[in-house]
Amino acid sequence: LVFTEEDKYGLYSNLLFKFFLAEGIVCGHDLFVASAKEHPDNILKELPAPLLDDTYGKELGDEAAAKSEDFQDSMKIAWRYQNLPKIEASPTTYTKFGHYYDVSKKMSPELCQSVKWHSFYLHEELSFEPKMKAWNMNSGYARLLQSIQRIISQEGFDGSHPQKKPRNILRIGIQSLGSVLWGDDVCCGDTPEDPHSLTKFLYVLRGLLRKSLSACIITVPAHLIQNKAIMERVTNLSDMVVGLESFIGSERETNPLYKDYHGLVHVHQIPRLNSLICDVSDTKDLAFRLKRKLFTIERLHLPPDLSDTVSRASKQDLAGSAKLLSSGCGAMAIGKKHLDF
């Protein structure tokens, strides 16, 4: 269960959501798309087109050559950094990991129709039985759980019972869960009238995922949820929690320190299935940027201080950025230190 905190305007989180579904189509997995905001048919029509291996290799090769050129030019000026080791933000050589997608093109309808997919559009579902309520949660969540449970049991994804159908993977994508469109009020104030519907839904959903051949991604407008207790429960009920912070409309959009990036990626929680401890990543300082064709996530590196003038001008910005970056790694570093002892 991957829990994704949406950025302020939902642009980049929606892109990650589509990447997850597009990867399922390319791999031949079944899809289940649920939304109360956008019709699932329209979501599938907007999936990015997969890049061929040689095309992606050429994209990386050209970018690596350009970076190398810029790096050599900068070294002529910043002579005191010539002997320092080079830090690669992203791999310069092509390594095969999953598939890559061109955000400037849409996936062909023939490829979308090559897999079996199921849709859940809340406004259509509630029109059939608007007063339905089960598991002491709101009607939208109850109907969504019943629909997922029916697909898992009828389409051969239930791992707890022998299945006659050929086994496959079910990819579940739920868009903007917890928003007002789902009939939930956790985003309306500090003390919502029904604070437990979302956590009950995630608890039952995680049980369904554990006993089935399925994986799920959920996007949630976490910046609208003001109750910290609800967010802590939601985090504990998820396997992986990732937050996206966009620079659109913020001071960092014009800050020269972040001119090469469009936002930050915060890894709040890493999966620890069947283990007492979780794997600690080498770095948690990640940033993303949207290029002409590719969406990339890289290590965040602040630019070098090239002169005394720049040093005086950006001293406060560097201090604030260093404080922000160190706060993300502090908890993991302390936890790792205790585990070593």
**pLDDT tens track for 126-173:** 776 655 556 678 889 999 999 999 999 999 898 877 777 788 999 999
First vs last C-alpha separation in the chain: 31
- Counting residues of the chain whose pLDDT is more than 90, the rounded percentage is 46
What the block records as the tokens of 340 is: 């070593």
pLDDT at 194 over 60: yes
pLDDT of residue 229: 92
Mean pLDDT of 185-189: 86
Phi, psi of 185 (to 5 degrees): -115, 20
Summarize pLDDT for 248-272 with one digit per residue, the tens: 988 888 888 888 899 999 998 888 7
Neighbour order of strands in the sheet with 30-35? 117-121, 30-35, 170-175, 214-220, 2-5, 240-246, 263-269, 286-290, 295-299
Give how far the C-alpha of residue 43 lies from the chain's centroid of Cα atoms, to the nearest Å: 16
Higher-confidence residue of 318 and 175: namely 175
Highest mean pLDDT among 74-88, 109-123, 159-173: 109-123
pLDDT at 331 over 90: no
pLDDT at 80 over 80: no
pLDDT of residue 276: 75
String of DSSP letters for 262-328: SEEEEEEE---TT-SS-PPPS---EEEEE-SS-EEEEE--PPP--SHHHHHHSHHHHHHHHHHHHHH
CA distances to 8, 255, 272, 320 from 249, rounded to whole Å, are 9, 12, 35, 18
Question: How is domain 2-52+98-239 classified at the architecture level of CATH?
Answer: 3-Layer(aba) Sandwich (3.40)
Q: Which of 21, 42, 193 is nearest to 115 (CA)?
A: 21
Which alpha helices (H) appear in 119-210, and where do they start and end?
122-128, 139-154, 197-210
pLDDT of residue 47: 95
pLDDT at 330 over 50: no
Q: CB–CB of 185/196 below 8 Å?
A: no
Q: CB–CB of 119/33 below 8 Å?
A: yes
pLDDT of residue 341: 35
pLDDT at 287 over 70: yes
pLDDT at 8 over 50: yes
The residues, ordered by sequence, that sit 6+ positions from 183 with a Cβ below 8 Å of its Cβ are: 138, 139, 140
| Cα–Cα distance for residue pair 23/100, rounded to 1 Å | 8
Summarize pLDDT for 224-249 with one digit per residue, the tens: 998 899 999 999 999 999 999 999 98
| Cα–Cα distance for residue pair 196/203, rounded to 1 Å | 10
